[in-house]
Amino acid sequence: MGTLSLSDFMEVRIPVPWGHIAGRWYGNRKERPILAIHGWLDNLGTFDRLIPLLPDYIGVLCIDLPGHGKSSRIQPGMHYSVYDYIIIIPRVKKEYGWSKVSLMGHSLGGIISFLYTSLAPHTVDMVISLDIVRPMTPEPKKVIGRLVQTIEKHMVVEDRQEESNLHEPPSYIMSQLTEILAKGSSNSVPPELAKHLLHRQLSKSKLYPKKYYFARDGRVKFYHHTQMEPGLTEELSKRIKKKPYLIIKGSKSPMIGVLSERPLSILRENNPHFEFHVVEGGTHHVHLHAAEECARFIVPFIRRHRPPTLTSWSLTAKEQQLNAKENHRQQERFFERRKNNHSKL
């Protein structure tokens, strides 16, 4: 069996009341894929380096969350919330008629996967979480300060968006954009890897031919976080029982710390299908800059919990290859016999 190809995908547009969810469905499109969800301010390009390392018998549907990438923005005057993002999963399930879902999420995508799995565990058969365990639990004073800033800055962004209907947003040359992205991610996305995210979040300037501007919705910077007390996180963790659950942490990332120890213990408890691995030297975007190391854990996990079926897309292709080889061998034997017969004459 081979691996997925980054060039073998189908663009998808999933209708939603405010527009559409954009995505790319890689590989097998005859069976239920893994649903991959990116992190905050990112887009489906975050999985670009990981996709070509995954087994080709299973498809992967990578989506852009609302306000990100090529997906529609929510209506003017509205505010983004993690709870609205959670509902994207049942919307995708409904669109394709799935009774179950396999999830892979990075950062915010991992939080969404955790929350959805804890709320509807009977509908999830596998979770892969990249450098995250559960929602953040900041100090109360920081929560208040963040809420105040969120309200103020959200209003500023709304005013700017009204102005942008008349004036184009600030634009930059590509080298500046890679530096902006690297700085904004604390160099978790270094400049040389920025292209994987930029190709879905830029629009070409109409005023300056060599410049581009960020096309994502500025309001996503100030979405409503889940400010969750440890007790609630633990109760949610208890609802995820004996579920195939893989967590990969970047050793240099602060995202999985002391407050994650209790949820990790609960997820691990009496669960033979739980795995936790650390990628040495990995930062928060561990799956992007250390894709090969992550794949060493992800691929066998997928093979164990989503093994190929007899009717799978890649097995059918494999059978065709084997049949073609057998036909070729038969032809070779036929011509060899003819050759021998002629030599006897």
> Which residues are annotated as catalytic?
107
Please report, for residues 26, 70, 283, 289, the alpha-carbon distance to residue 5 in angstroms, rounded to integers and kept in the order given.
Answer: 7, 21, 25, 18
Please report, for residues 45, 72, 184, 216, 225, the alpha-carbon distance to residue 221 in angstroms, rounded to integers and kept in the order given.
Answer: 18, 16, 11, 10, 10
- Is residue 248 within a helix (H) or strand (E), and if so which, with residue range? strand 245-250
Rounded to whole angstroms, how far apart are CA atoms 276 and 244? 11
First to last CA, the chain: 46
Rounded to whole angstroms, how far apart are CA atoms 276 and 194? 27
Q: How far is Cα of residue 37 from the mean position of the Cα atoms in its chain? A: 3
Q: Quickly list DSSP for 37-64.
A: E--TT--GGGGTTTGGGSBTTS-EEEEP
Q: Which two tokens stand for residue 192?
A: 């040389």
Phi (first) and psi of residue 179, to 5 degrees:
-70, -40
Please report, for residues 21, 23, 80, 204, the alpha-carbon distance to residue 200 in angstroms, rounded to integers and kept in the order given.
Answer: 13, 11, 20, 12
Q: Which two tokens stand for residue 6?
A: 């980054």
Rounded to whole angstroms, how far apart are CA atoms 105 and 109? 4
115 in Cβ contact with 135 (< 8 Å): yes
